[in-house]
Structure 1
Amino acid sequence: MNSHEEWAARFGTPLYVYDLDRVAVARDELFSMLPEGFELYYALKANPHPEVARATREGGSHACRAEISSSGELAAALSAGFAAEECLYTGPGKTDGELDHALGLGVRMFSVESLGDLRHIGAAAVRLGVTAQALLRINSLTASATTGMRMMGKPSQFGIDSETLPELMPELTSIAGTRVVGAHFFTMSNAKDEASLIGEMQHVIALAAELGREVGLPLEFLDIGGGFSSPYAVRGERAVYDKLRTELESSLDVHLPGWRDGTTRLACESGRYLVGDSGSLLTRVVNVKQSRGGKFVIVDAGINTLGGLSGLGRLLPASVEVDGDTSDVASLVGPLCTPGDILGRDIDLPELSGGELLTVPNAGAYGVTASLLTFLGRPAPAELVVRGEEVVSVSRLEPRRVFESSGAEPSGVAAE
């Protein structure tokens, strides 16, 4: 019996397995592809499991910081051992309550999406008697990327349109409770083509330097984003960017020549690249049936377990893939009472029967917390954390309903 069979028998399925050794390898490899001195932020939205997140910050000189966008992610980051001052708080809809909470716990760095966003941050900082450091997220008018998900050069709720900065900069740099210290760009996602990734990063470095000269954008800190590619729920390997380090160094030497002396702190961010290949989803076949010439393999993991964001058309692939030799074609479907619970239609699968175990690879990012976890009331999958063959922990997210004290509880139901 291999480890997956043993763990599935012991902890049940569906079961996510995260290998912390794989997180460490991805972290170190990504740092090695960036210029010396770059900081790296782990985007907790990819996988907020505290032990997975902790593994991204346990690398000594290769320790990540945390990129968060909610009070829940802040709690996960602190639980993982990140200090509040190591967190970059992002997102276009920060509420007053969230800002008071984050600033009260010691978060000081915020990515700013608009003038109104900065005003909210400043008001919260004034209430607490502190100063918030602001990175202006810039939505460049132009972009060079041809592959991956483009994040700039179009109307968006994210970022300040670059062409409006000359008019806005005087007000942006004079809001009480804040100090603009630099810029934040997020150019693209999942860049499989190295030339596109390098071109986009070179573009934002040049743009940041231009904005510094022409509109007085402070450049104490520059986050040039991410976009590093890693397969999601299909077989494959993380992308390797052999030229990235030298190309970024050359661009920085031209446009920000003081970077080697630390005049400007430099950063990138990553989610799926750091944790994607650390995870596997184990799911067991419940039933196999034929219907009007079609074959359906029904498993105990559905869209409540994997890829609940598939409706956005951005995360879940058109079809997942499973490990092992394939000799059959069938639709892989989940157990939910909805025709939309399809993980793959007419895909290559092994010849299967009830009770057999399947493994979906590269499922360490956008798994449990990106799924329709409470849909149809099925239990959440267990999450097993390992180092190689050693079991570190096993846990399960359990939603619960909490009745507000101002409202009457339904008859016979008590708040947990």
Structure 2
Amino acid sequence: MYVYDLGRAVAARDRLFEALPEGFEVYYALKANPHPDVARALHEGPGHGCRAEISSSGELSAALTAGFAGAECLYTGPGKTAAELNKAMECGVRMFSVESLSDATHVGLAASRHGTVADCLLRINAPATAASTGIRMMGKASQFGIDSETLPETMRQLTTVPGTRIVGAHFYTMSNAADEAALIGEFESAIALASRLESKLGLPLEFLDIGGGFAAPYAAPGVRAEYPRLRSELERMLDRYLPRWRTGSLRLAVESGRHLVAESGCLLVRVVNIKAGRGRTFVILDAGINALGGLSGIGRLLPVAARLDGGEQSLVATLSGPLCTPGDTLGRDVNLPELQVGDIITIPNTGAYGVTASLLAFLGRETPYEVVLRGAEVVSVSRLDVQRSYRVMKPEVL
């Protein structure tokens, strides 16, 4: 069972707004946790509210259910299909991040079919910088972004695609950067490059999304990173490279997922078996990678060790799930208290990349419950429905 504390998510949102210069927009990346109650809490309430960053029709539906308007969504991703773009246009989405000339063309065709013009940000794949922390998202060959060195040849084509209006640039340099200096350095590189592209190549620059990278622990004890110098440093670099931001003529944005919601969630799992053999102890749980997959399919593995609360840590064991595969392991050499069958273990900081980042349909087990709290109030109890039978369709639907 996942438990989400909306107060923690809202506190993280408000703290991030405080760390940014006045006027910055924050886009919540629904990939981190698309639960409508969680997204709604980040969107609503007094003071600052988030917009939505989405990259599928499913995330668009979740955003709309949570109360975001289509006009508050930024649609990203390198493989937008005609059907997805049509749905987005129907729902009022008008802001897209485009990753290539062909991607921009697809957006323009969809917009033209709906008698409108789509505002597009060029996602730029900038050269690598010296940052050594976090997960690198730029500076190498990738399906993401337009290589910056090609822009002198392609800018004219990109800015004249029918059905589109280029309004700015989108960068996403790194993910999960706990080192504030590294993150600041990445942001400065992006802002400086945006300024050069505007002055030398004529990039229209009404909107600048400098991405994210704000860190938080995952499935292990800890607290989200703080960035006490970020506000003053962003003001300094914007004053240097894009001074008109002070007039309000340039929209500025960041995006964040895990930083906003990781601390808000925990996963409660039950011990169903304890097995010892050949010098190792295995604590077998009622949930594994089917409930806490950790995006392991793209190399984001769970920690191989984590301390969990619950008394004196006198047991070292492997935490295994219930699936019939040796890959169903949540942690190795984990320090634990002495446990018995039926005990409950709490895995902290699982409000991001939990349920929907997991192998939900593998081996057909029940999906975990998701319980949403606001203080002591239970806001909702839900369970994501995964179809267990195939719905037969007529061939012509293809």
State the TM bucket, normalised to the shorter chain.
over 0.9
Are 1:282 and 2:273 an aligned pair? Answer: no
The residue correspondences of 1:100-249 to structure 2 (distance < 5 A) are: 100-249=86-235
Q: Distance in 1 between matches of 2:145 and 2:392?
A: 36
Query: Could you tell me which of 25, 28, 37 is aligned with 1:39?
Result: 25
Q: What TM-score do the two structures reach when normalised by structure 1?
A: 0.93
Q: Distance in 2 between matches of 1:343 and 1:65?
A: 33
Distance 1:264 1:387, change over 3 A: same
Q: Distance in 1 between matches of 2:130 and 2:193?
A: 12
Q: Secondary structure at the match of 1:238?
A: coil
Structure 1 position 367, deviation (Å) = 0.3
Q: Which residue of 2 aligns with 1:7?
A: none
Query: Could you tell me which of 406, 409, 414 is aligned with 2:394?
Result: 406
Deviations 1:126-164 (A, max 9, x none): 111110000000000232322100111111100000011
Query: Could you tell me which of 317, 337, 347 is aligned with 1:330?
Result: 317
Q: Distance in 2 between matches of 1:169 and 1:397?
A: 44
The residue correspondences of 1:88-107 to structure 2 (distance < 5 A) are: 88-107=74-93
Q: Which residue of 2 aligns with 1:393?
A: 380
Q: Which residue of 2 aligns with 1:372?
A: 359
Aligned residues of 1:308 and 1:372 also touching (Cα < 8 A): no
Q: Which residue of 2 aligns with 1:383?
A: 370
Q: Distance in 2 between matches of 1:308 and 1:39?
A: 28
Q: Distance in 2 between matches of 1:145 and 1:323?
A: 34
Q: Distance in 1 between matches of 2:155 and 2:359?
A: 41
Distance 1:308 1:198, change over 3 A: closer
Query: Could you tell me which of 66, 69, 74 is aligned with 2:55?
Result: 69
Q: Which residue of 2 aligns with 1:10?
A: none
Q: Distance in 1 between matches of 2:181 and 2:301?
A: 23
Q: Distance in 2 between matches of 1:95 and 1:295?
A: 48
Q: Secondary structure at the match of 2:191?
A: helix
Aligned residues of 1:228 and 1:270 also touching (Cα < 8 A): yes
Structure 1 position 318, deviation (Å) = 2.9
Are 1:351 and 2:338 an aligned pair? Answer: yes
Q: Distance in 2 between matches of 1:64 and 1:318?
A: 34
Q: Distance in 2 between matches of 1:368 and 1:407?
A: 32
Q: Which amino acid aligns with 2:95?
A: M
Distance 1:320 1:383, change over 3 A: farther
Q: Distance in 2 between matches of 1:248 and 1:336?
A: 47
Q: Which residue of 2 aligns with 1:86?
A: 72
Q: Distance in 2 between matches of 1:28 and 1:153?
A: 31
Structure 2 unaligned residues grouped into runs of 5+: none
Aligned residues of 2:306 and 2:335 also touching (Cα < 8 A): no
Q: Which residue of 1 aligns with 2:250?
A: 264
Aligned residues of 2:209 and 2:253 also touching (Cα < 8 A): yes
Deviations 1:396-416 (A, max 9, x none): 0121245243169xxxxxxxx
Aligned residues of 1:28 and 1:59 also touching (Cα < 8 A): no
Q: Which amino acid aligns with 2:268?
A: L
State the superposition RMSD in angstroms.
1.3
Distance 1:353 1:305, change over 3 A: same
Q: Percent identity?
A: 66
Deviations 1:88-122 (A, max 9, x none): 00000000010011011100000000001000000
Q: Distance in 2 between matches of 1:190 and 1:362?
A: 14
Distance 1:180 1:207, change over 3 A: same
Q: Distance in 2 between matches of 1:153 and 1:274?
A: 26
Structure 1 position 206, deviation (Å) = 0.6
Structure 1 position 388, deviation (Å) = 2.0
Aligned residues of 1:305 and 1:367 also touching (Cα < 8 A): yes
Q: Single out whichever of 215-224 and 309-318 deviates more from structure 2.
A: 309-318
The residue correspondences of 1:298-309 to structure 2 (distance < 5 A) are: 298-309=284-295
Q: Distance in 1 between matches of 2:82 and 2:373?
A: 39
Structure 1 position 322, deviation (Å) = 2.5
Structure 1 position 319, deviation (Å) = 3.7
Q: Secondary structure at the match of 2:166?
A: strand
Structure 1 unaligned residues grouped into runs of 5+: 1-14, 409-416
Q: Which residue of 2 aligns with 1:413?
A: none
Distance 1:252 1:307, change over 3 A: same
Q: Single out whichever of 286-295 and 190-199 deviates more from structure 2.
A: 286-295
